[in-house]
Structure 1
Amino acid sequence: MIKTILIILPKSIAGCLILKGLSLALNEIGFNVVVINIDDINNDIIKTYNIKIVLGYDYSYLMDDNVHNILSQFKNLIFIHYFADIPTSQLALGDKNIELYNILKTKKNTIIYIWDENYLNLFPNSKFLPLGINANLYKQNFQNYKYPISFVGRPIGKKRIELICQIVKKYSNNFNLFCFKTHFQKSVEYIIENKLLDEKYLNIYKNCYKGFLKTEDELSFVYNSSCINLNITIQGKNNINYRVYEVLASEGFLLTDNMDSIFNNFEVGKDLEVYNDIDDLFDKIDFYLKNNYIAEQIAINGSKKVQMNHSFEKIALKIKDDILKLGEVKNDMQ
């Protein structure tokens, strides 16, 4: 009997994009998949669809007391948590305290996946599971470059904001920032409070803000039409975040911070490019702005690499194998 997986979409945009892509892959390998926003969960959904497995992003259903209470009424459910944020960080915990982490550590019938191997020690029997991508959702036909330099993501954290400020000082309006408006406003407050930009450059920074991207089509258009897409990692120690896969799947050129995991999965200088420090970053931005035909070929190579090696189907097959090991799902889903 094929089992039904309930995928709970979080309020996090990145989490929604990840789980939507994964849900398609799980469906393709034989699971019945029901995708529901966390605010829409109720008792009838579990009963109507005969849910056996619940999969969510980070702490998932534990973030909402009402949803937690509903799911706790069903004693034979298997729970799967897929972490793409550090489990003890505010990005994962939200407005909850560290007790949420302690609760999850004691949960039974639970599989915990973490995208960065450095955090496997946080939970007993947790498993390493890198992120992937459904490249079909990000397909774009390149027309021309609209944005010289782009960053898509929250302008938060000392490392990221300070680097963005340095970029604004050097490249001014050639830099483009896409994020949720509230996050942008908070970054302006942080910059003012810490005196990172004077009035002239603060106004330039405000003009760099180009709005919020929500759908795969909106994201992939910006990635594909940016000469250089920046990645500034703030979560994890040695991981590949979702932005890397998104940019490459969109056939965009990616310039990312240097980590071993990048070298282990991609050919630097052929599939994407890395920077080591601020001087190296500026040198490479200058080079690829002047030689965008090279960036274009690298973007094509990177797109092919993620399609071949980093599909969500491989992630889904790993999840299926782990569920089968629990003895709860018959291996009749080939």
Structure 2
Amino acid sequence: MLRNIIFSVFLFTTPIALSASPLTSQVINSMTPPNPTLNIPELQPIYLSNTGGSIINASAMKSNDIAMQPIHDYQNKLSKLGDSYLSTKDLAAAELAGHFLTSWAQADALTGTEKHISESDVNRYMFLSATAMNYLKVKPALSYKNQKTIEIWLLKLAKRNKKSSIYLNSNGNLRSWYALGILATGIATNNNSLIDEAREKFTLATGLINDDGTIDTEISRRHRALIYTDGAAIPLVIMAELSKKINENWYTIHSGRLDLTQARILYGIKNPKWFQDRSGGATQELTHPGCWLIFFAMRHPDNQEAHEALEQKWGDYQSRIGGAATVLIKSGFFAPQ
């Protein structure tokens, strides 16, 4: 099964079940961008205090989801358009994606100067990573004028994110999500200083990986340690894949320690008690590993645990990376620019 998936990605001999199917012209014609907003909503902390970020406040999460709905709607529609263009080269999908991007760019959406609130800042990190990735998908089909309008906005978002330094000096996965956003923006805008900063943060993050593949900040989540280690792998793997666009290979940084984390997650899926013993908390099982899995499986086709995990449900579509991983792979998105 694993080899069939890999062959279908590269040879297109067997269709992949994609999370994001190409859009019909009727659907494309019916899509409109939500009205842009200058500020991210002031969101509530989603974890109960004094729990080390391990117990979710369900009420706060629900309230935040409602507040973020227009922004999530924008991201989901943009991702569908971007994936549809990559899959079919339908210019109508690219042009509408360009309209989504330019309409929010012209309004300087989400670049406001509201006070720093951790959840709001985090959501802006992830908004930039998804938006810059989607811009990279459709950029070749857009006019030079629209490209410049969008790129000015992406750079403003990157600058705004840099000001929210609450997580940028921490060792957790949120610094990596920040770095993914600035890397995608740096590649999209040919901004070497952003690329250099992202490389620095990737190097810091992978340097913190222990010999057993764990990351101390994610292990400290106790019963959610496995889930957060999985979440930490996603931005790091996508950054390593993006590095190919600039003719680099970040998988080799720190002698490939990122592979240790991915292998440990696969082991933890089958043996959650290992994470329980390591973290000191009754481990919550990981039922849907993230999109890093397909990339790991392609790079290690003989890994039996990857083979088994890929045959189960896994997170192909990730809103934080702007769409479906299999679409990115099959379209050659990560090829050098």
- What TM-score comes out, normalization by structure 1 length? 0.28
- What TM-score comes out, normalization by structure 2 length? 0.28
Higher gyration radius (CA)? 1
